[in-house]
Amino acid sequence: MDLFSTLEPVAELAPGLRLVRRYFEPQEQERLAADIAALAARAPWFTPRMPRTGKAFSVKMTNCGTLGWVSDVDGYRYQPAHPATGEPWPPIPDLALRAWRELAVYALPPEACLVNFYDVSARMGLHQDSDEGDFSAPVVSISLGDDALFRYGGLRRNDPTKSIKLHSGDVVVLGGQSRLAFHGVDRIFGGSSTLLPGGGRFNLTLRGVTVRKR
């Protein structure tokens, strides 16, 4: 059964790349934002850095789930503990897990949920989510807070790209032919949402990481 058929409005931006507008109602957005603030108190925000050069990303991040994504001078990787505290990552919030169950169309639960915080100056260059061992699992990306200009392309960095504005409560699913599509965030529209105190945007990306039997 195509679970997307019960959700409106849904747009297929490219084969396997789907956008679900306003998947989360306003009260659910508030609850999920509060969940993120609580988990960040347990697993503090940190600044990822580029491999080799050590250049800082413009976003701050944390993780939840059994595995978390980390980037530093030693490279990109998933690990079970926070890089500063050494503590296990907190559990993934229930509302985020619901989005996975309803939208991923994948039998197994996510192992990782990356949480990025964008202030008005933050960006994310075109990239592939390619550090996972199982590309049959989609990436489910949740937007909360200020609007963002999302750019997406093909499987090669120099493929043509398109852009679309993402609003608070929207969910994007990258799966199938678009699982490894290049994508990024070119702009944050400061003041477009009052969800987060002080403004900004949370982006949660739920992922399968290891090859598991379904």
**Among candidate residues 92, 91, 94, 66, the one with its CA nearest the CA of residue 81:** 66
How many domains are contained in the chain? 1
pLDDT in tens, 168-192: 999 999 999 999 999 999 999 999 9
Give the pLDDT band of residue 3 (cuts 50, 70, 90).
very low
Q: Check if the beta carbon of residue 131 is closer than 8 Å to that of residue 78.
A: yes
pLDDT in tens, 127-143: 999 999 999 999 999 99
pLDDT at res. 5: 42
Let me know if residue 17 belongs to a domain: yes
Here the contacts of 54-58 (C-beta below 8 Å, separation 24 or greater) are 57/124, 58/118, 58/121, 58/122, 58/123, 58/124
What are the residues facing 124 on neighbouring strands?
185
Let me know if residue 213 belongs to a domain: no
- For all residues of the chain together, what is the average pLDDT? 95
Give the pLDDT band of residue 102 (cuts 50, 70, 90).
very high
> Please, which residues have CB within 8 angstroms of residue 181's CB and are 6 or more apart in sequence?
14, 16, 17, 128, 152, 153, 154, 155, 174
Let me know if residue 120 belongs to a domain: yes
pLDDT at res. 121: 97
Let me know if residue 114 belongs to a domain: yes
Give the pLDDT band of residue 10 (cuts 50, 70, 90).
confident
Residues 26-53, mean pLDDT to the nearest whole number: 97
CATH of the domain at 73: 2.60.120.590
Let me know if residue 93 belongs to a domain: yes
Angle at 98 between CA 41 and CA 63, to 5 degrees: 30
Let me know if residue 47 belongs to a domain: yes
Structure tokens at 97: 């897990």
Residue 4 has pLDDT above 90, yes or no: no
**Among candidate residues 206, 144, 174, the one with its CA nearest the CA of residue 13:** 174
Q: Check if the beta carbon of residue 130 is closer than 8 Å to that of residue 192.
A: no
Angle at 172 between CA 168 and CA 173, to 5 degrees: 155
Residues 8-13, mean pLDDT to the nearest whole number: 81
Give the whole-number percent of the chain exceeding pLDDT 70. 96
Neighbours of 94 (CB within 10 A): 10
Let me know if residue 214 belongs to a domain: no
DSSP string, 167-199: -TT-EEEE-GGGTT--EEEEEEETTS--SSTT-
Let me know if residue 212 belongs to a domain: no
Domain of residue 199 covers 3-207
Residue 10 φ then ψ, to 5°: -120, 135
pLDDT at res. 2: 43
pLDDT at res. 1: 36
